[in-house]
Amino acid sequence: MNVQDVKKYWELKGFFVSLRNKLEDWLYNVKSDKLKPSGNAKLKWCYHVVFSQPFEYIIYMLILLNIFPIILELIPVISVKYNQELDIINYIFLMGYLVEAVLKALAMRKAYLFNHWNQFDLFLIILEFTANLQRFFSPVVSILICNFMYVFQLLIPRLIGAVNGQIHKQLSFGYDIGKGYVTGEEHISKIIDHISDDKCISKKLTDILEGNRQQAVKEIGLLQRDYPETAISVKTRHAIRAVLNSDRDAIHALMSEGLLDDIEASKLEKMIEIKMKKLTKFPPTIQAPTAEELLQSLPWLNQDSNQKVAKLLFFDFGDTIIEEHDDPQGIHLIVSGMVKMTGGSPDLGGNSPREKTRLTDYRGCGEILGVLNCLTLQPMEMTVTCETSTQTCFIAIDSLFEAFDVFPEFPSLEYSIWRSLAVKISTSIFIEHINYQGWSYHRICCHLARAYLVSVEVNSKFDVYDSGTEDVVVIYGSCDDVASQYSYNAPSLISRTTHQVTRQPCCQTTPPAIPCIRCTPTASIPESTSLLIKPLTSGLVVSVQLWGLFGVQGNTL
């Protein structure tokens, strides 16, 4: 199965798409949108009147009031008794529609006749005048038809909204399938070596899977660019379902430990089932966040500092945002669009250099670029080019370092950025480690949500696993086991048989710390810590960070 087989599920085709295009073509017109006012003072006044909101509201009110005589004419007794009065009322409404048409014609001039909606209005006015003045056929029937058509004007935007709802449901379904396809390709690529013993065949299959994954990510990125509201809705729905599933697993664990009886567990599971069923009616679209909202959602951003220095940058298709081997200039937060990243794997320091592999990937809304390089002052490893028109929030590296000095109190801004980066790196380590194969992504996130960082000085010994420690992950740099002299190069999970490590000096510019993960039932963060991750409390976690398909989305449920 390739991308073309699943792409058909989110391609916009069919009756609803054609109906929407026809209605929008009828309701909106490009030429009138680009129309400029006339130089004549009177015509210019007509232009400003016609394209003002009060005038639009008056016409809508006129159409709504026209509903009442329509209803009265449908009642035979009232229609016969008040026939003359109803005719006068119809003439009044007709004059109102005529005044609207005259003002629009004076404001739009020749463009008036090229607008489909104006053509429809003009047709109704002529039809009603013909029915009332020339009496070619029953005036009651013709007036009713015209009045109904005027009321239908108000229903067309509603009809377009209903059709868009059906289209967004189709897009949501296709987006789900696309994400499932990407996840499946990633899982299969991890077990290729167990399927085939031939290295050539395994390499060929891996290349095919990686090509399919990249193409699928690109297609989904383009879909997210065109319909960001649909992508946000799908990600939010998945996150809510993950939280509910995690709560259900926690209930089962508490039951097995005897902390919940059957009645209490049954009530809790019933509440979860109710919330699960509500997800079937989850809205297919959620309004896309603005640049300010994306900045506020960053877990490490200080509201009083970096938001003021952040700049909104715009890039066209094909522009280069970051060049490989260049010095870091700052941090980019993608607000909209999609970028392509090509280059080597990130350099996480260490005395033993790792084999550099060339990577190609795509990133979209919510992804942060250049964080690690700004913290370590190392050259950029990847070239970032725009696949579409892209908008980013840019924080210059000088402004970032100034903020480090302004906010040194624990947890400092630098600490918060390192912690956010360490959690993201540790998540991938836990997913790939054999000891955590049975853990879900949400469970790993909950495990890391209570984590913190500590400093490890060069040439100093550090006790890794104490009485309450569960896991330690080296995020940047390297350290050696004091007993076995085994080296741990980032990113790696330190074995639980290791009790003490020492950090050796590195030729590269590195922060004076080793990021690690520790788990204790209860703990507090010491003020001197810098780069060690440690869960603070035990119990249920009620929030989840949306990393999304293209990186940190920054939403919290």
Sequential pLDDT tens for the chain (557 residues): 778 888 887 777 767 777 777 776 666 654 444 567 777 888 888 888 888 888 878 887 887 787 788 778 778 888 788 878 887 887 888 888 888 888 888 888 877 777 767 777 777 777 767 766 554 444 445 555 555 666 666 677 777 778 888 888 888 888 888 888 888 888 888 788 777 778 888 888 888 888 888 888 888 888 888 888 888 888 888 889 888 988 888 898 888 888 888 898 999 999 999 999 998 888 888 888 888 888 888 877 755 555 577 888 999 988 999 999 899 999 999 988 889 999 888 878 766 666 667 888 888 888 889 988 888 888 998 999 998 889 999 989 998 888 888 888 877 888 888 888 888 888 888 888 888 877 878 788 888 887 878 777 777 788 887 777 788 888 888 888 888 888 888 888 888 888 888 876 654 444 444 445 454 443 333 333 233 333 332 222 222 222 322 333 333 22
Res 25: pLDDT? 67
What residues contact 80, with CB distance under 8 A and at least 6 apart? none
**Token output for 139:** 């005036």
What tokens appear for 429 in the block?
A: 């380590």
State phi, psi for 260 to the nearest 5 degrees.
-130, 135
Which helix (H) or strand (E) element contains residue 216? Answer: helix 199-226
Report how far residue 350's alpha carbon sits from residue 343's, in angstroms, rounded to the nearest whole number: 20
For residues 306 and 400, the answer to whether their CB atoms sit within 8 Å is yes
Lookup: tokens for 71: 């209803």
For the chain, where do the domains classified as CATH 2.60.120.10 start and end? 291-407, 431-505+535-545
Whether 503 contacts 457, CB under 8 Å? yes
CATH superfamily of 291-407: Jelly Rolls (2.60.120.10)
How many helices (H) and strands (E) would you count in the chain? 20, 16
What per-residue confidence (pLDDT) applies to 350?
A: 67
In the prediction, which pLDDT does 133 show? Answer: 56
Q: 149, 66 in Cβ contact below 8 A?
A: no
Backbone angles phi, psi at 467, to 5 degrees: -65, -25
Which amino acid is residue 143, in one-letter code? I
> What is the helix (H) or strand (E) element at residue 343, kind and residue range?
strand 339-344
Q: Rounded to an integer, what distance in angstroms lies between the CA atom of residue 504 and that of residue 513? A: 11
Residue 255 near residue 265, CB atoms below 8 Å? yes
pTM over 0.75: no
Sheet containing 390-396: order of strands: 311-315, 390-396, 330-336, 368-369
CATH number of 431-505+535-545: 2.60.120.10
3-state secondary structure of 315: strand
Burial string for 296-335 (b: 16+ CB within 10 Å, else e) reads ebbebbeeebbbeebeeeebeeeeebbeeeeebbbbbbbb
The residue behind tokens 């909101």 is: 53
Distance CA 259, CA 462 (A): 38
Q: Determine the pLDDT at residue 89.
A: 83
Is domain 3-161 classified as CATH 1.20.120.350?
yes
Return phi, psi of residue 258, to 5°.
Answer: 80, 10
Q: What is the pLDDT of residue 468?
A: 72
Contacts of 11 (CB under 8 A, 6+ apart): 174
Residues of the chain with CATH 1.20.120.350: 3-161
Beta partners for 474?
A: 492
Residue given tokens 């190392």 in the structure block: 378
d(CA 171, CA 269): 31
Identify the bridge partners of residue 342 per DSSP, sorted by sequence position.
360, 383
Q: If 0-12 CB within 10 Å is exposed, 13-18 middle and 19+ buried, where does residue 147 land? A: buried
Distance of CA 203 to the CA centre of its chain: 34
**Beta-sheet pairing, 492-493 with 473-474:** antiparallel
**Beta strands 516-517 and 532-533: pairing type?**
parallel
Q: Torsions phi, psi of 552, nearest 5?
A: -70, 120
Question: Under a CB-based contact definition with an 8 Å cutoff, are residues 340 and 290 in contact?
Answer: no
